[in-house]
Amino acid sequence: MLEIKNVSKSYDKKKLAIKDITMTLEPGDLYGFVGPNGAGKTTLIKSIAGIISFDNGSITFDGNTIAKNPIDFKKRLAYIPDHPDLYETLSGRQFIDFIADAFNVSLERRNQLIGKYASEFEMVDALDKPISSYSHGMKQKTALIAALVHEPKLILLDEPFVGLDPKAAFALKKTFKEITNEGAIILFSSHVLEVVEKLCNKIAIIKQGEIIADGKTHEVLKDRSLENFFMEIA
């Protein structure tokens, strides 16, 4: 379980980028995180991933807090930024290998999973080419495979569908479902409201750093579409 309690963060010591955010994500949750540009989505996701520090509050995942036990916290976490800036001198496979090494994934298991996801994302032939030759979508797919290769229990994604072709987007949605069915938690931000509405069992809407709606998708939306609801409140 991921527990976010009263988390606040300011970049300039004046204005809060996220204000007193409290959320609980349970195993199996596929959580969609929506909000206008600059609302604080990326700040919260990066705070959970340990990329940026936060000023107040705590973030705990299965008993480990990111502030006190960062290594144990990160052992079961994967994060994919909106524009994955991968090491361009490596090939896709070398990059995935590097990430797998960081998570101590056995050779047999990593080969099995690389094979599976490379095939699902149609990256089998491209993986041995240098990342510098990849398109944005291919980099995104490589980052996804690298994230999935260590079978994380918490996956954080910032705009994961941007740049993906329809087949890859479909494969990603399918993978999301599979992983959450196995008990992992996925939190992703997106501006594609239809995808969030159809895919996620829970949603959160953030505006000016504050969560203004949060809960099970059907309970939050009632009989409205997410788009209409978003236009009303955000």
Partner 1 sequence: MFFKLLRVFLKENFGARRLFGSKVAKSKGRVIAFALLFAYSFGAIGFSSGFMFYSMGFTRELMLYVASYATGLGFLFALLQANGFIFQFKDYEIVGPLPIKPISLLLAKLMTMMVFIYAFLTALCLPLFIVYYIQVPFDIFGFIFLFLGYLLLPLPSIILGSLLSLLIAKISKRFAKSNLIQTILMFALFLTIFGFSLIGGASSGEGAIVPVWVIDAISSIYLPNEWYAAAVHDKNILNFVYLLLSNGGLFVIFLFIISKLSVKTNQNRTANKQAIIKSNNLKQTPIFTALIRKEWRKFIGTPIYIFNCSFGLIILIIMSVAAMFFQNELMIALGLFAPYVLLIAFAFCLVTVYTPAVSLSLEGNNFGLLKTLPIKGETIMSAKIIFNLLLQIPVILFSFPFAAIGLGLDFWTSLACLLAIISFSVLTSIFFAWLNLFFPRFDFKTEAEIIKQSMSAFIAVFGGFGFMIFEGALLFVLLFIPLPFPVLVAFLTIINGLLAFVIYLPMHKKASLRLQRMEA
Q: Tell whether residue 199 is a contact of partner 1 (CB under 8 A).
A: no
Q: Tell whether residue 88 is a contact of partner 1 (CB under 8 A).
A: yes
What number of other Cβ atoms are within 10 A of residue 133's Cβ? 11
- In angstroms, the first-to-last Cα distance of the chain is 28
Binding residue for partner 1 (CB under 8 A) from 31, 33, 61, 79?
79
Calculate ∠ Cα 27-18-213, nearest 5°: 55
# residues near partner 1 by CB under 8 A: 31
How far is 88 from 118, CA to CA, in rounded Å? 18
Where does 75-165 have alpha helices with state H?
A: 92-102, 107-120, 136-148
Angle between helix 136-148 and 166-181 (nearest 10): 20
Q: Which is nearer to partner 1, 12 or 232 (CB)?
A: 12
What's the count of helices (H) and strands (E) in the chain, helices before strands? 9, 10
Q: Tell whether residue 81 is a contact of partner 1 (CB under 8 A).
A: yes
Binding residue for partner 1 (CB under 8 A) from 89, 135, 181, 228?
89
Q: Tell whether residue 11 is a contact of partner 1 (CB under 8 A).
A: yes
Q: Which is nearer to partner 1, 37 or 222 (CB)?
A: 37
Task: Draw the binding track, 108-147, toward partner 1 (x: CB under 8 A; -: no contact).
Answer: ----------------------x-x---------------
Closest CA to 187 of 221, 211, 208: 211
Q: 106 CB contacts (<8 Å, ≥6 apart)? A: none
Strand pairing class (16-25; 2-10): antiparallel
Structure tokens at 141: 């797919």
Q: Tell whether residue 71 is a contact of partner 1 (CB under 8 A).
A: yes
Q: Tell whether residue 22 is a contact of partner 1 (CB under 8 A).
A: no
How far is 153 from 67, CA to CA, in rounded Å? 19
Q: How far is the CB of 60 from partner 1 (least distance, A)?
A: 16
Q: Which residues pair with 56 in a beta bridge?
A: 8
Q: Which is nearer to partner 1, 37 or 166 (CB)?
A: 37
Q: Tell whether residue 103 is a contact of partner 1 (CB under 8 A).
A: yes
Query: Which residues in 28-47 contact partner 1 (CB under 8 A)?
Result: 46
Q: Tell whether residue 202 is a contact of partner 1 (CB under 8 A).
A: no
Q: How far is the CB of 53 from partner 1 (least distance, A)?
A: 4
Q: Tell whether residue 227 is a contact of partner 1 (CB under 8 A).
A: no
Binding site for partner 1 (CB under 8 A): 11-13, 46, 49-53, 71-72, 74-75, 77-79, 81, 84-90, 98-99, 101-103, 130, 132
